[in-house]
Amino acid sequence: MDKSQINIGVIGFGTVGAGTVKILSNSSREIEQRLGFPVVIKRIADLDIKSDRGVSLEKGVLTSDVDVILNDPEIDIVVELIGGIRPAKDMVLKALRNGKHVVTANKALLAEAGKEIFRVAVKNKKQVGFEAAVAGSIPIIKVVRESLIGNRINSIYGIINGTANYILTKMTEEGVEFASVLKEAQDLGYAEADPTFDIEGVDSAHKLTILASLAFGIPLSFKKVYTEGISSITPLDIQFAADFGYSIKLLAIAKRVENELELRVNPAMVPKDDLISGVNGVFNAIRIDGDATGDALYYGRGAGDIPTGSAVVSDIADIARLIKSGAAERMTMPGMAEDNGLQIRKMEDIVTCYYLRLSVMDKPGVLSLISGILGTHNISISSMIQKGRRREKAVTLVMMTHVAREKDMTEALKKITRMSFVSGRPVMLRVEGGEI
């Protein structure tokens, strides 16, 4: 293959599409210098070919017919940036079958239909780049697949949804309720009209599915990810967390424990001496412990048109280099997951420390009864705060436990909730992280 340039077709001219096109246009000279050849945007397809995206394009580049891209024999790389599963999946599969390499930022697509996509890619000897699908500008896919190739990875955890982190940060800084921060974030365009994926942890679970597959050599296991969001977090719990020396963060967690893999997304209490606890606003951060590297942390912008576009462009450049050197069809994608038999740990079997908040009647003997129930389930309290003193009225009891098994905690909480002196549902948060 000796082409003078690499031609790309972009499907989806929304936020990330426009960011990608801006970088490729504005930095075309630098990219050509670094690669040794030009990357040319031959076509961009979108249903909306009227709106101004702040980039000037040559005439005829924009099309509303995606098949113009998928059937163009001169296009080497198709960049899929429309998101969602349908119709993105059909377009990606058609591109691969038509002999095109694919770059995508579509985490939902890969988490839920990646198996088929990678199978078709391998069969057609095509590359699929997806750096932009996880943690935006943080090159975590490349790090896991290439830089850590000599490592057995023990754990990966971090903040991989900027919207949720923005909301938690605002709640922490301003002491306001979840609902009002969400509304503000929606008004500012930081959260979508339907924010479910971001705030209920689904988006984090999609990304964790991809990361865990690469890092631990397991199949894509989206349905096995335990997923809990942040909509029930209150400013009160954030304040208590701070009193105990923690921040509350929505974490995606994958870690080896006794020949099984914990795989979960949940709001967690992160101690202040863990750098993750200080990651605020829309930023993402991922902490990886490899057996050779030890602890490492990667921090950067996880979303946004230009940061995510930067990751898309790095994938385009990697594949373009392979095409130019004749290796794109000979090199299998590095580190794609084979099933190595590692089992996903059942949620009831995980062992961690817990934060509990209860509303209880302030009267003698209550604490003894609660700690008694916890004790019979092998749960011991490491510290405790009772807020206020209101004899025979409801007061707030907050406690941190030593390590306990989730199953024990669930059963103990069931019993505690049934006690007459307990009102409302107890709040339970898991603790994660530590000194770095």
Residue type, 359: S
Phi/psi for 75 (5° steps) reads -85, 125
Q: Which two tokens stand for residue 281?
A: 């606003």
Residue 130 and residue 104 in contact, taking contact as beta carbons nearer than 8 Å = yes
Q: Give the span between the Cα atoms of 179 and 177, in whole angstroms.
A: 6
Between 145 and 405, name the residue whose CB sits nearer to a copy of itself: 145
DSSP string, 218-256: ----GGGSEE--STT--HHHHHHHHHHTEEEEEEEEEEE
Prior bond to 139 cis, omega within 30? no
Sheet holding 6-11: strands in order across? 62-63, 39-45, 6-11, 77-80, 101-104, 128-129
Residues with Cβ within 8 Å of 56's Cβ and at least 6 positions away in sequence, in order, are 25
Residue 433 φ/ψ region, left for φ over 0, alpha for ψ in the -120 to 50 degree band, beta for the rest: left
CB of 27 to a copy of itself, least distance (A): 6
Between 224 and 301, name the residue whose CB sits nearer to a copy of itself: 301
C-alpha distances (whole Å) from 383 to each of 46, 240, 355, 397, 434 are 57, 12, 10, 11, 17
The SS3 of residue 301 is strand
CB of 164 to a copy of itself, least distance (A): 19
Between 257 and 331, name the residue whose CB sits nearer to a copy of itself: 331
Between 267 and 302, name the residue whose CB sits nearer to a copy of itself: 302
CB of 137 to a copy of itself, least distance (A): 4
**Residue in 207, 224, 249, 255 annotated catalytic:** 207
Between 153 and 360, name the residue whose CB sits nearer to a copy of itself: 153
CB of 159 to a copy of itself, least distance (A): 13
Q: Which two tokens stand for residue 304?
A: 């946004």
Interface ranges with a copy of itself (CB under 8 A): 19, 23-24, 27, 30-31, 33-36, 131, 137-139, 142-143, 145-152, 217, 275, 278, 290, 292-301, 304, 306-307, 309-311, 313-314, 317-318, 321-322, 324-327, 330-332, 334-335, 338, 436
CB of 286 to a copy of itself, least distance (A): 11
DSSP string, 121-182: HHHTT--EE-GGGSSTTS-HHHIIIIITTT--EEEEEEE--HHHHHHHHHHHHH---HHHHH
Between 131 and 228, name the residue whose CB sits nearer to a copy of itself: 131
Between 327 and 385, name the residue whose CB sits nearer to a copy of itself: 327
170 tagged catalytic: no
CB of 165 to a copy of itself, least distance (A): 14
CB of 8 to a copy of itself, least distance (A): 13
Residue type, 418: R
Q: Give the span between the Cα atoms of 77 and 231, in whole angstroms.
A: 40
Residue 349 and residue 363 in contact, taking contact as beta carbons nearer than 8 Å = no
Catalytic residues: 207
